[in-house]
Amino acid sequence: MAQAILEVIEGGWLTTVQDLGRPGYARYGIPPSGAMDFFALAVANRLVGNPPGAAGLEITLTGPTLRATAPCLVAVTGADLTLQVDGREMPMWMSVFVRRGSVISFGRRRWGCRAYLAIAGGIDVPPVLGSRSTYLPGRFGGLDGRALRPGDRLPIGPAPANLVEQAGRAFPRHLIPPYSDRPVLRAIPGPQDDHFTPEGLKTFFGAEYRILPTSDRMGYRLEGPTVVHGKGTEIISDGVPLGAVQVPPDGQPIVMMADHQTTGGYPKIAAVIRADIPLLAQGVPGESRVSFRPVSIPEAQGWYREMGKLLDWPDSQ
């Protein structure tokens, strides 16, 4: 059987190939990248029978239009951008059979920022340093290091033959993360929380911040009450993990997201816990607001473990 291809008719506002990222290269200055809402991508992959880290599409705000050259099985999770197949609305968080020649498109955005499309067999672009994730600033990974555009052809890996039988598998509604346009993000103070005054910490963990329109896959820039530094607004540059909250001299926090720089010279007041990164990733720049709540490391590890268990929901085999 010929290899299936997804033909790109419209690219959408910003659609990139992402998997669960490119860990192991931060020491060379290479960010992890990968799906911003990694949970939604992992669920979508499970719905179509892929390993959780197979490459899919991260679809931002406005969806693409795609045509399948062979029968395929897809699942769309994350933000609700009104999934349609041949013009008919289809359910999300569920595997959907797509006939040869059918067109997958999206309509109105109902909520959220990023939808994830997984396809049985995964998107088979060549891996770069062990990952198919697109890193736009470095112009590598994914499809030639860039977003999709009309005329692109995405190769799909080998899929099982019984696709029709696998359609209709659904992720239980009540297990979907508590996405919100005003999420409360749990965060672990440090490593430089001692660079802030007690009032600065109180502000950070008490105030509400708007997500600025300049936010992107590198960082979510926030606007709100000034977080006051105590001992200096710069540090000697050190390593930056995913979710780290940097506070530059203007006192407006920036949360480091998937394509974050690997080192930085601003004090980091806290780190958003892994289990809440998906909630932030669905925050809409210019619209959503977030606030922060301090939690402990054991609590955060427990929540992350629970999140991982959700990927093995009872009927997922």
Partner 1 sequence: MFPRFLPAGESALVVEFGDEIHPDIHRQVLALDYALSREPFPGLRETVPTYRSLLVHYDPLQLAWDDALGYVTDALRRSAEVPMPEPAEVEIPVIYGGEFGPDLEFVAESNGLSVDEVIRLHAGATYTVYMLGFAPGFAYLGGLPDRLATPRLPTPRPSVPAGSVGIAGRQTGIYALSTPGGWRIIGRTLQVMLALHRDPPTLLKPGDRVRFVPVEQGADEGR
Q: Which residues bind partner 1 (CB under 8 A)?
A: 23-31, 128-129, 137-138, 140, 188-192, 236-244, 261-264, 268, 271-274, 297-298, 300-301, 304-305, 308
Q: Give the residue from 255, 244, 248 showing the smallest Cα distance to 211.
A: 255
| Residue type present at position 2 | A
| Minimum distance from residue 265 beta carbon to partner 1 (Å) | 9
Q: Give the residue from 75, 142, 83 showing the smallest Cα distance to 112.
A: 83
- Whole-angstrom distance, CA of residue 100 vs CA of residue 120: 14
Query: In which order are the strands placed within the sheet that holds 111-119?
Result: 14-18, 56-60, 111-119, 72-80, 95-98
Residue 90 or 304 with smaller CB distance to partner 1: 304
Residue 205 or 304 with smaller CB distance to partner 1: 304
Residue 97 or 220 with smaller CB distance to partner 1: 220
Residue 28 or 315 with smaller CB distance to partner 1: 28
From the CB of residue 122, how many other CB atoms can be counted at a distance below 10 Å? Answer: 23
| Minimum distance from residue 196 beta carbon to partner 1 (Å) | 14
- Whole-angstrom distance, CA of residue 128 vs CA of residue 114: 23
| Minimum distance from residue 130 beta carbon to partner 1 (Å) | 8
Residue 35 or 300 with smaller CB distance to partner 1: 300
| Minimum distance from residue 258 beta carbon to partner 1 (Å) | 14
| Minimum distance from residue 146 beta carbon to partner 1 (Å) | 15
Q: Give the residue from 248, 247, 246, 208 showing the smallest Cα distance to 224.
A: 208
Q: Give the residue from 56, 76, 68, 51 showing the smallest Cα distance to 4.
A: 68
